[in-house]
Amino acid sequence: MNTTQTQKGEQLISIQINVLKDDYEPQVKKELNKLKQRAQVPGFRPGMVPFGMIKKMYGAQATVEVLNTLVSDALNKYIVDNKLDLIGFPLSDPDKQQPADFESQESLDFFFEAALRPEIKVDYSKLSIDFAHVVADDATLDKTIEELIERNPEITHPETVGENDILQLKVREAEDGNEIEGGFKKDYVLLDLKDVKTKTHKKKFIGKTTGSEFIVNLSVVLGSNEKAAKILGDDAPADSDYNIIIDDIRHEEKPELNADFFKKIFPDREIADTDAFRAAVKEEMEKQYTNETDRILFTKMIDALVEATPFTLPDEFLKRWIYENNQGKLSVEDIEKNYAENYSKGLRWQLIEDSIVKENMELAITEAEVRSFLISQIFPGLDYNTADDDMKARLDKIVDSYLKNEEQVNNVKNQMADVKMTNFLKTKIKINYTDQTYDEFIKSLEAENAGKKAEAPTKRTRSKKQ
């Protein structure tokens, strides 16, 4: 068996694999003998079918399977041994491949077409992008602080129910003032008196104490069966009386903007006064804005890099490769229609991205980083390094189960790679920031996109080495 390579174009090569009968016939004979032992043919005992009959029945199929394995192994070995840096994988060469005649030919030739990766040099020096630095204006900051106040009330547990308290209840289905044996019951139900329909209905609760027990129709009190089902569950009987027991009374008051409240919102910071608190909230808001807008900035940086980094691609080969890679899920017509604006751009960015990572290996995603990321997502706030050995073992077991899902792992790697690449490119490309409020940013984005046609999402893949 012999493998040779010839140049077919600027970036295309043809790989020829010559296979002699002596290379594959012994393996074919071995496979047919295996089939002979297993074959069940009427008139013959197992293992006694004549070899000639087995060869006639299965010879062509066995030959194809053996040749596929031999040729595939030889092709992969040639690529590795010669350190060929390819785009995608080789395809059968349509210009050279001829039908094979296993019976008459003493040797068979298999031809493959492969695309070499172009040499890419990324130059950031002339790249410049105009973009928004989204800031929190006073009105939005005031609104956010009000929301923080509403979501973080001061909580007490009085003995007597007030007008707008939240009650923790036990409920038991009742009829004629008595609990129904075997009826619906639930030991934890939260009733917010703000949801009670009228003042008359509220009077059933106001003034009651912890431990009070009485009959009430929650559908009537709340104004509908649907609202009652929301707190009781869909399996609760509609429009029924219930014996309820008040287990706890929760009273919420609007908190003051003081040191205790500041510590509750920012437990890791020392905030002395309202001005410092406003500054801290503003900082966190703008971090969140940056996280959101960085996704748009990343797309703009990709567009700028693709436009500023020209190189030739073997387009016709890549169209065939996209078709083969999608296993018939895309038609030739769809690929042709979307190639320039969709697939070509995605492939160009992938090649540029690969070249950047090759020059800056700190951008590659490591297994340890994936594990750390998964732990942070599954158990936010947990410090793995300070956990005891038993806890670490349990965490590792959970992460190991996630890592078995290849699609899920690839999604995590892509997410992490995008964040790393975004932060890296922000240090390389000149970004001309202009302060905008969030509303102004959204309006400018809408205006920018108003004249554009809807674009199909760029098809992006990543090499497994990342």
Give 188-236 pLDDT, tens digit per residue.
999 999 999 899 999 999 999 999 999 999 999 999 999 999 999 999 9
For 386-395, what is the mean pLDDT? 86
For 429-439, what is the mean pLDDT? 96
- CATH 3.10.50.40 positions along the chain are 154-253
Q: Rounded to a whole number, what is the distance in angstroms from the first to the last CA of the chain?
A: 34
pLDDT at residue 443, as a whole number:
92
pLDDT at residue 193, as a whole number:
96
457 pLDDT above the threshold of 80: no
pLDDT tier for residue 452 given thresholds of 50, 70 and 90: low
Q: Report the percent of the chain where pLDDT is more than 90.
A: 68
pLDDT tier for residue 40 given thresholds of 50, 70 and 90: confident
Q: Report the percent of the chain where pLDDT is more than 70.
A: 97
pLDDT tier for residue 460 given thresholds of 50, 70 and 90: very low
For 246-268, what is the mean pLDDT? 94
17 pLDDT above the threshold of 80: yes
Work out the angle at residue 353's Cα, subtended by the Cα atoms of residues 348 and 357, and round it to the nearest 5 degrees. Answer: 155
Pick the closest to residue 397 from 375, 377, 418 (CA basis): 375
pLDDT at residue 451, as a whole number:
61
**Lowest-pLDDT choice from 39-48, 73-82, 140-149:** 39-48
What does each C-alpha distance from 216 to 174, 177, 207, 224 come to in angstroms?
9, 9, 15, 14
Model confidence, pTM: 0.75
pLDDT tier for residue 412 given thresholds of 50, 70 and 90: very high
Measured CA to CA, the distance from residue 387 to residue 92 in angstroms comes to 54
101 pLDDT above the threshold of 70: yes
| More confident call, 50 vs 212 | 212
Q: H or E segment at 1?
A: none
Contact 39, 52 (CB under 8 A): no
| More confident call, 105 vs 422 | 422
Kind of pairing between the strands at 128-135 and 430-437: parallel
95 pLDDT above the threshold of 80: yes
> For residue range 270-288, what is the model confidence (pLDDT) as tens digits?
999 999 999 999 999 999 9
pLDDT at residue 402, as a whole number:
87
How many alpha carbons lie under 13 Å from residue 451 in its C-beta half-sphere? 3
- 154-253 belongs to CATH 3.40.50.920: no
pLDDT at residue 305, as a whole number:
96
pLDDT at residue 48, as a whole number:
85
- Percentage helix, strand, coil, to 5, in the chain? 50, 20, 30
pLDDT at residue 203, as a whole number:
93
98 pLDDT above the threshold of 90: no
> For residue range 322-363, what is the model confidence (pLDDT) as tens digits?
998 888 788 899 999 989 888 999 999 999 999 999 999 999
Measured CA to CA, the distance from residue 134 to residue 442 in angstroms comes to 10
pLDDT tier for residue 67 given thresholds of 50, 70 and 90: very high
- CATH 3.30.70.1050 positions along the chain are 2-116
pLDDT at residue 456, as a whole number:
38
Pick the closest to residue 286 from 125, 438, 464, 460 (CA basis): 438
Q: What is the second-level CATH architecture of the domain 2-116? A: 2-Layer Sandwich (3.30)
pLDDT at residue 458, as a whole number:
43
181 pLDDT above the threshold of 70: yes
